[in-house]
Each structure stands twice: as structure tokens, then as C-alpha cells.
A and B are shown apart, each in its own frame.
Chain A
Amino acid sequence: MEHLRQALLFLVPWEFSPLALVLCAGGAGAYALGLRRSPRGERPSVGRRIAFFTGCALVWFVMQTRFDYFAQHMFFMHRIAHLVLHHLGAFLIALSLPLATIGRGLPAPFARNVARFWERPGMQLAVRAIQNVWVGPVVFVGLIFFWLTPPIHFVAMLSPEWYWVMNWSMFLDGLLFWALVLDPRGPAEGGWAGFGPRIWMLVLAMPPQIVLGAYIALSGRELFDVYGLCGRAWDMSAATDQTIGGLVTWIPAAMMHVVGALIVFSRWMHADRGRPAPARVLASGIGD
């Protein structure tokens, strides 16, 4: 009974965020409703559904449970939280391609307005400016470096407002980046980037993260003193905390890039197989 009570207490949000409730619960609710409304043939596969709900649950777990308390007071727990927000959770949600299903679950006028807003030329231009193989990875890697710059990290961990900005910027950027990477459409079908450039982008974005993680893990001096100044949640030395945190920044993050590259590669093969033969394209072009 005591264990159950403890487990339930763990699930109480440490710092409740209405935005998290609206986005996570609202998104998952709209998705569930959209699934029921979708015609049988257009429903996403079970694997995609699992990816979506797992991604949402993971993001909710690190942001809106007692986990967040530990993420505020242990460096390596904070790194795990960012691994989920920026890599794993955002990756799973992007992998599930949930927009069509969520759109069906939203009230029709609202969904129409969103679609109309999305299709505005200005909006499309802005999206193209961010969702490409140049800006995407620079922002993705740049944000990791930005929030891990020691004086900036100090501010983000001490101020509730900056902490909030840090976590949401990581999650939203993660969604954008992995949506760009895992887009099943090739450039011919209106996709944001070619499959080959996306693999290059994934590979090139890996070394800076590896170097940063290794530097943090192997650096002999304490880089992030805010955890000691505010007190660690557990009796763990600053050096151990920083080493584990560095390893989390280094290894699983790089692995997600490899997994991403493999998925892009399989999508590339798939797209090539489905493409009409060149002769037919030519013929239809002449016929027009």
C-alpha cells in the first residue's frame, strides 16, 4: 500500500504546466479521437500508434512528474530529461507522422483554420527557412551547446522562467528536427529535403555532440556548479554526476542519430522503388 502511495505521489506534477497539459493530453486526446474517425484503410499502423503514445507519455513523464524535481537537482537526470525531450520523445512523435490523425480528431473548423494558416505563403516561407538541411542541424546542435554553456546553464537551472524556456525550446526543436529527418516524402513529393542530404546532416551533427559529451564526461573540473549550490537530490559527488551526465549527452544521443539515419535510408529505398519509371514520367509530360 505504501509503495502504491509513493508511486502515485511520484506522478503528481512537481511544477504543473498548463501548456504541457494542453499539448500532451490535448494532442493525445485528439489523436485517439482521430483514430476512431479515420476510415479503416487510412488508420496508422499499430507500430506508429505505439510510437506516438510512447513519445507523448515520455515527454509528459520527464516534464510533469516528480522526475522533474530530480532533473532540477541532479545534472545527469537533467541530461536524461533533455535526451527524452530533444531526442527520444520528439523522435518517436515525429516517427509516428501524427498530423493527419490529430487533424481528424480536432473540431473541423479549428482544423481548417490551422490548415489554412499553415498553407499561407508567408508561413510556408518561414517553414522552409527553418526546415532544411542547413538551418535544422545548426539549430539542433546549437541549442544543446547554448544551454550547456556554464553561465547560461546556471541561469536556466536557477530561474523557473528560464528553465521553462530551456525545456520547451529543446522539445519543440526536437520535433522540428526529427520531422525534417523522418519525413517519408522525398523532394519530388513536396518533402523538405532529399534523403541523401538528410543522412549527411545526421552524420555531421553527430561529432559536435560526441565531443561535447566527452568533454563534459572527462573534464576534471566541475563545470556546472549550480547543482552543488542548490543541493543535489542524492548523495552523489559532483564528479560522478557530471561524468554520467556527459555520457548521456554523448552515447545515447549519437545512437539516436544512427537509428535516424537507418530509417531515412530505408525510406529512401522505399521511395525509389515506388517511383514511376522515367519513360512514363516523360510520356505523361508530353501528353499534358
Chain B
Amino acid sequence: MRRLAALLAALLALAACDRLVGNDGPVRNVAGLVHDLRFTMTDPAGRTVRAADFRGGPVLVYFGYIHCPDVCPTTLARLAHAAETAGPRDLRIVFVTVDPGRDTLAQLAAYAQAFGPRVTGLRPSEDELAELAKRYRVSYSRAKPDARGEYEVMHSSGVFAFDAEGRARLMILPGASERDIESALRRLSGPSRGKA
């Protein structure tokens, strides 16, 4: 009896491992782990942006801020470049600012445009941002401002990739090469698992 129980436990553990292990590369499969793409944001002019506005093509979501010295511009540039070479035509890149107090809508629009037509900047209110961050289990925090009022913001570095139906599919790591990102984008437009 004891042996049987031990055997059962080992089999269960193996089955779990099979599902879980082998997910440690620069592009990770997060299907079924992360919530679908869903949000509603209202800008100061009263215009509402919804996740549904981005349906119809894959969406990459990245959290950052305009004053970010290096990581954000590099990541956005690489995503935009890979999208031009390998992405489906309707792929969109969404840049969500985690510093809505400093990043104005106009600045954000200009910043996004600098990376190409596929990039859209989104500016949630503090409450909307907190809710969105919690939904995707990401964190952000602002450091104390220096004498000139400048400050750094800690934020997530992974890029969430959603398919055309808004289902979470992949996470692209900052260490991913151009080629990794391109093959990830091709996977995104391919058929999704679980649905014929």
C-alpha cells in the first residue's frame, strides 16, 4: 500500500513536471498562465481605450516610462524592428506608461510614434494602472526624486504577447535576440493551442 502511494505520487509529480519544465528560454510559453488581454482606460479628454480596440491582430504589451534611460527605448526599438521584418501586418505594440504623473498624453504619442506606426502609447490613471498591473502580476515603484525633480521608476522587463483573440501566449525576455523575437512573432500568428 505504501509503495503504491509512493508510486502514484511519483507519477503525479512526473506528469506535473512534464507540463512545467522546459520553459526557461528567452521566449516562454505563458498560455493558460496569464489572464487574457483586457483593460479600459479613460484619458483626460474623456476618450476611452479598450483592449477590444486592439483585437484582430497579435498584441505585444510592455510596461515602461518615457524618461526610462535605456531598457524601454531598446526594448521598443527591437520589438518594432522585429515586427517590421517578421510580424504579421496587423501586429500592434502597446506601451503602457507606469509613470502617468509625468508622461503626458502628447509626449507619449510622440514617443510611441518615434518607434513606428505599430506602437501605441497608453496612459492609464493611477487606479487603472494599479488594476492592470495586478491583473498581469507586474510591479512598479518610483524612487525618490532628486534635486531637479528627476526620478527613476522600477518596472517589469518582460513583454507580454497576446494572440489575435487576446489570449496570452508568450513572454519575451529582455535577453531575447532579434531572431528569437522574430520567431516568437511568427508563433503568435500561428494557430493557438486548445482551439481548432
Contacts and interface: CB of A to CB of B under 8 A. Distances in A.
Given A73-B139, A151-B20, A158-B137, 6 more contacts: A150-B24, A151-B24, A159-B34, A230-B136, A232-B154, A235-B154
B61 interface: no
25 contacts: A69-B139, A129-B2, A132-B2, A134-B2, A135-B6, A142-B13, A149-B20, A150-B24, A151-B20, A151-B21, A151-B22, A151-B23, A152-B20, A158-B171, A159-B32, A162-B33, A229-B156, A229-B174, A231-B140, A231-B154, A231-B156, A231-B157, A232-B154, A235-B141, A235-B154
Interface residues of A, number: 33
Contact of B20 (A69, A130, A155, A160): A155
8 cross-chain pairs, A with B, having the tightest CB-CB distances, nearest first: A229-B158, A231-B139, A159-B33, A231-B156, A73-B139, A129-B5, A151-B23, A152-B20
Interface string B1-39: 110011001000100010011111000101011100000
Contacts of A139: 9
Interface in A212-255: 225, 228-235
Given A130-B5, A231-B156, A235-B154, A155 B23 contact: yes
Interface of A: 69, 72-73, 125-126, 129-130, 132, 134-135, 139, 142, 146, 149-152, 154-155, 157-160, 162, 225, 228-235
Given A132-B2, A135-B2, A230 B139 contact: yes
Contact of B5 (A135, A146, A150): A135
Nearest to A143: B13
Contact of B13 (A146, A230, A232): A146
Nearest to B2: A129
A71 to B, nearest CB: 12
B42 to A, nearest CB: 24
Nearest to A15: B134
B138 A230 contact: yes
Interface in B122-143: 136-141, 143
Main secondary structure of the interface of A (DSSP, over half): helix
Nearest to B152: A235
Given A72-B137, A160-B137, A229-B157, A154 B23 contact: yes
Interface in B153-196: 154-158, 171, 173-174
Interface in B97-144: 136-141, 143
Nearest to B142: A235
